[in-house]
Amino acid sequence: MPTTDYYEVLGVSRDASNDEIKKAYRKLARQLHPDVNPDPETQERFKQVVAAYEVLTDPQKREMYDLGADPLASGGGAGGNFGGAFSFTDIMDAFFGGTTARGPRSRVRRGQDALVPLKIELSEAVFGATKELQVDTAVTCTVCNGGGTADGAALATCPTCRGQGEVSQVQRSFLGQVMTTRPCPQCHGFGSINPNPCVECSGDGRVRTRRKLTIKIPAGVDSGTRIQLAGQGEVGPGGGPAGDLYVEVTVTPHPIFTRDGDDLRCTLPVPMTAAALGTSVELETFDGPATIEIRPGAQHGEEVRLSARGVPKLRGTGRGDLIVRLDVQTPTKLDHRQEELLRELAALRNEESVPGPVSGESNGNFFSRIRDAFKEGLN
């Protein structure tokens, strides 16, 4: 007859389901685990909890126990060895409430994503473009069609793990005999070996090659924009599905125009006389020639805006504007006649000399504050 009431140890009824038993075990395991309570009495109770879990979650052992026999008696019960090695993975699954995937893993896996850079002109960013790329990626081996074997040969069952993809090892611990499981070192967890690998891909099912791709650049892209090409990345091992290809755009600088969000900007040199009298200037834009109207008396730094001649909105409708900044230029070299005319103009406008000290209420107050502060510093 069993000397330990395993139902009582776990605090469950005799008709408790497996889920109820696992839930009770996880709760007690967190409280009694040696990492939490290392004292000998708690360790002994933890061993009983582990033994109760091992028996009550195994249908055959539970049936034996309910009929009055102790399935662990041959190994000394919960206080000694547990009669046979229990899987440490099973305990961790119950402890954390999860399940561990077991068995051989598939040789067919998804390929990695790839990232390639692409430089484009500003005009291509404005209107969009179609570009051709050369990409170095892994593709499916055409000799074995991704299978990895020579001449269509079959894979062989791994003799070490017998196709399980994992091997187990029994070790002694304070809990008794603990079984640990790890991927098979011979087949690397696949459960099979490749005795006749393809000579072209060495059994990987893929080879590296350079291929050409055509990509459409949407209007409105900017530096840093990434364009995703689904399924154009690396082909996976074993002929697995390909990852995605990401194209990262860099827009090269333009000699005239710069980008400001969805707007384009440029600077237009304007002679002083043209700015004073007003004029019109023809400017070549990405959309063709445009006439810039400069009003009489235009000042340096003044801006003229041409609507809808900027960059299209990448995630919306419409376009930005073209903003033209006026750079009013003063002549640096004058011949005798030009100098005479300018002096005559200065005389007519009473601008032959620069006025004296800056006046005006606001400026006076500003200079007064500087003077007062200087005097206070001396005192």
127 and 224 both lie in a single domain: yes
Domain that holds residue 314: 258-329
Is residue 165, in this structure, part of any structural domain at all? no
Helix (H, G, I), strand (E, B) or coil at 294: strand
What pLDDT sits at residue 47?
84
Q: Whats the size of the chain, residue-wise?
A: 379
Token digits of residue 16: 């408790």
Per the structure, how many domains does the chain have?
Answer: 4
120 and 244 both lie in a single domain: yes
Give the Cα separation of 6 and 21 in Å (integer).
Answer: 10
228 and 123 both lie in a single domain: yes
What pLDDT sits at residue 82?
39
CATH number at residue 291: 2.60.260.20
What pLDDT sits at residue 2?
61
What pLDDT sits at residue 357?
58
Is residue 104, in this structure, part of any structural domain at all? no
CA-closest candidate to residue 70, choices 82, 86, 85, 57: 82
141 and 218 both lie in a single domain: yes
What pLDDT sits at residue 320?
96
363 and 325 both lie in a single domain: no
What pLDDT sits at residue 77?
40
Is residue 52, in this structure, part of any structural domain at all? yes
Q: CA distances (Å), 325 to each of 76, 107, 267, in order?
A: 93, 63, 5
Is residue 222, in this structure, part of any structural domain at all? yes
Give the Cα separation of 212 and 155 in Å (integer).
Answer: 34
Block mean pLDDT (10 aa), the chain, length 379: 80 89 86 72 83 86 79 50 45 48 79 94 96 93 92 91 85 64 90 94 93 95 95 91 95 97 96 95 95 96 96 92 96 92 92 65 49 50
Between β-strands 303-306 and 322-329, what pairing exists: parallel, antiparallel or unpaired? Answer: antiparallel
Q: CA distances (Å), 243 to each of 133, 146, 201, 247, in order?
A: 17, 15, 19, 13
What pLDDT sits at residue 275?
95
Is residue 241, in this structure, part of any structural domain at all? yes
What pLDDT sits at residue 45?
85
143 and 43 both lie in a single domain: no
Helix (H, G, I), strand (E, B) or coil at 258: strand
371 and 321 both lie in a single domain: no
Q: CA distances (Å), 47 to each of 20, 80, 81, 86, 176, in order?
A: 19, 9, 10, 12, 9
What pLDDT sits at residue 255?
96
What pLDDT sits at residue 377?
47
